[in-house]
Amino acid sequence: MPPTRRRRCAVSRRACCSSSASARRSPPAPQTRRRRGSSDSRRLRLRPDARRLRKGFPSRHGCLALFRRGQSVAVWRRDDSHHPVAHLHGAGVRDDATVRRPGEEGVGRDGGAKLHFGVVTGYPEEDPTSRSLLRACAALGTATALAPASIRVEVDGEEGIRLRFGPRPVEEFDVLLLLRGLGPGGDYDVQLLAYRLLEEEGHLVINSLDALLSARDKLRTSALLARAGVPTPPAAVVQQSGDLADAFARLGSQVIAKPQWGSLGEGIELLHDDDRGRARAAELLEDRGALYLQAFVDHGGRDLRLFVVGDRVEAAMERRAPPDEIRTNLQVGGVGRQIQPDRELREIAVRAARAIGLDWAGVDVAIGPAGPTVLEVNGSPGWEGIDRTTRRDMGEAIAWHAARRANESTGSGTRMEGG
């Protein structure tokens, strides 16, 4: 669809998405079957909370008329959540997103009515993040929770490699979202190998396995951020106790000891360059075999969590550590409040996620004496806390991003269709 001229809508007094003239210039879209006896005002399936809005948004609303004709309609977030396309379609309003009519060409693995999302999670019921993403994907198409332990790899000399989640071939899904991709049950090594095979066979998997593994590895994260020019504290990994003194000398009088693989702030300790601190570092080294050390950034007990989806920061909050605690994670008692990050912070967060290769990420930034610096990049962030703090919906943002990726992949010839 060619670029369209936005005009003011006479009904809603908001910026309408397209003009009638531009709609006439657009090629006709495939028509969907109309139920007998249904009125034009009910051709779209209404969400329960949208029924009461029909009087406020009559059918002559330009955006809604285009949507009924099967055109792609670009909507602005500043039109807010009461935009009729958002309510009648059952999806949220997104910046520069394309809301497609069910049945429009390019939607679904075979040009069908819906996108098919596979959400890989071992905790579809008990994990709030999994429930959020499943619900958001279901609003845009069909969403299926896929257990990591159910993945099957079949190798045949004539037919090649076939992958299934239980009885379902992976070709049924337009996009697979690796949310909680390990456990419960099964073998982690087999699951990791299966995810790699999925990508090698041309299936769209986000976040990608390599990006997730890089984000889990503190040393790898530090190296990728530094290589991309993203500000991040100096760090080192030590394997021999004899190297601890040199590490302290390089990193400063205070260092943060972290597990090289981990999340949720677990196992993090502040160590001082004194007898007690070096002794504790030696204990941790003996216990772990290798010790990741990061220069301490004096951030006054607060840091920032910026939630990146695609190439934008969708939400941000400041987190304050509880008394006598260096960790700001909400899971350990940290307190969050919504913030509006400036352009520099947004750019740093997006560059950090891009450096790791993540489609969505939680980027932790501290404001130290030298300015903002990225402490960590989480490739499997929970978003219940940031949703509650900012009153935003990260599940919805990820679902829309995944839908765009799926449509782009289908259009570019990436293997998405069934056999």
- Domain ranges for the chain: 7-99, 115-207, 234-295, 302-399
Could you report the per-residue pLDDT of 345-370, keeping only the tens digit for each?
999 999 999 999 999 999 999 998 88
Look up residue 295 and give its DSSP letter.
E
CATH superfamily of 302-399: ATP-grasp fold, B domain (3.30.470.20)
Could you report the per-residue pLDDT of 213-236, keeping only the tens digit for each?
999 999 999 999 999 999 999 999
Look up residue 93 and give its DSSP letter.
-
Q: What is the pLDDT of residue 260?
A: 83
Q: What is the pLDDT of residue 107?
A: 45
Could you report the per-residue pLDDT of 99-116, keeping only the tens digit for each?
333 333 334 544 445 799
Look up residue 38 and give its DSSP letter.
-
Respond yes or no on whether the N-terminal peptide bond of residue 167 is cis (omega within 30° of 0).
Answer: no
Q: Are strands 335-338 and 141-146 parallel, antiparallel or unpaired?
A: unpaired
CATH superfamily of 234-295: ATP-grasp fold, A domain (3.30.1490.20)
Q: What is the pLDDT of residue 294?
A: 95
Tell me how many degrees the CA angle 376-323-316 measures, rounded to the nearest 5.
Answer: 40
Total H helices, total E strands in the chain: 12, 20
Nearest to 141 by CA among 162, 172, 169, 170: 172
DSSP string, 296-325: ----TTEEEEEEEETTEEEEEEEEEPPTT-
Q: Model's pTM, two decimal places?
A: 0.71
Nearest to 294 by CA among 281, 303, 276, 275: 281
- b/e map 123-138, b = 16+ CB within 10 Å: bbeebebbbbbbebbb
**pLDDT of 46 above 70:** no
Q: Are strands 97-99 and 73-75 parallel, antiparallel or unpaired?
A: antiparallel
User: How many residues are present in the chain?
Assistant: 419
Q: What is the pLDDT of residue 216?
A: 92
User: How large is the C-alpha radius of gyration of the chain?
Assistant: 24
Q: What is the pLDDT of residue 103?
A: 33
- The mean per-residue pLDDT over the stretch 47-60 comes to 42
Which of the following CATH numbers is that of domain 115-207: 1.20.1050.10, 3.40.50.20, 3.40.50.720, 2.70.70.10? Answer: 3.40.50.20
Tokens representing 403 are: 């839908």
**pLDDT of 178 above 80:** yes
Could you report the per-residue pLDDT of 261-294, keeping only the tens digit for each?
866 667 789 999 999 999 999 999 999 999 999 9
Burial class of residue 3 (count of CB atoms within 10 Å of its CB; 0-12, 13-18, 19+): exposed
Best-predicted range by mean pLDDT (11-20, 94-103, 131-140, 321-330) = 131-140
- The mean per-residue pLDDT over the stretch 6-22 comes to 40
Q: Which regions of 89-146 does DSSP assign to beta strands (E)? A: 97-99, 115-121, 141-146
Q: What is the pLDDT of residue 93?
A: 32
